[in-house]
């Protein structure tokens, strides 16, 4: 079932969402100072590409630098990314077929809001 949902997700919205996060990651990596944000964006792109069967967990070794980086991310990118996921999630939930996709969009809100200090892992 996860594979079927991931394929539907990929066709309807996941591909373009992943491309957007990849593009943002490339831009962040070109600007040397923002490389940690670029790496976080690449992690989110992987999650956006294939979200079913994965979840976001906090990293135990995340420190003060992750917290400060999350504040910067939240101010410049996190809030509008999370708002975009909320809007698309609500719109997807308006149809019966889109409900699982809307829920996947809602699952992406925490990692798009504050991505540093988070890890994306497979669900057993």
Q: What is the mean pLDDT of residues 29-50?
A: 93
CA pair distance 41, 31, nearest whole angstrom: 14
pLDDT at residue 85, rounded to an integer: 93
Please answer whether residues 109 and 79 qualify as being in contact, where contact means their C-beta atoms are separated by less than 8 angstroms.
no
Please answer whether residues 69 and 37 qualify as being in contact, where contact means their C-beta atoms are separated by less than 8 angstroms.
yes
Strand partners, 122: 54
Tell me if residue 79 falls in helix, strand or coil. Answer: helix
Q: How many CB atoms lie within 10 A of CB 108?
A: 22
Q: Which domain holds residue 54?
A: 2-122
- Residue 70 in tokens: 């999350």
Please answer whether residues 41 and 28 qualify as being in contact, where contact means their C-beta atoms are separated by less than 8 angstroms.
yes
Q: What is the mean pLDDT of residues 78-103?
A: 92
Picking from 49, 40, 53, the residue whose alpha carbon sits closest to that of residue 110 is 40
Domain count, the chain: 1
**pTM > 0.85:** yes
pLDDT tens-place string over residues 43-59: 999 999 999 999 999 88
Q: What is the mean pLDDT of residues 89-114?
A: 92
Q: What is the mean pLDDT of residues 99-122?
A: 92
């Amino acid at each position: 079932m996860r594979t079927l949902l991931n394929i539907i997700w990929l066709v309807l919205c996941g591909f373009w969402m992943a491309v957007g996060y990849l593009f943002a990651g490339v831009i962040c990596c070109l600007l040397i100072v923002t490389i940690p944000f670029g790496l976080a964006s690449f992690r989110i792109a992987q999650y956006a590409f294939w979200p079913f069967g994965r979840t976001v967990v906090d990293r135990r070794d995340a420190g003060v630098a992750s917290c400060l980086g999350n504040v910067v991310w939240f101010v410049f990118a996190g809030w509008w990314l999370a708002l975009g996921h909320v809007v698309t999630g609500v719109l997807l939930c308006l149809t019966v077929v889109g409900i699982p996709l809307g829920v996947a969009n809602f699952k992406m809100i925490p990692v798009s809001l504050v991505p540093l200090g988070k890890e994306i892992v497979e669900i057993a």
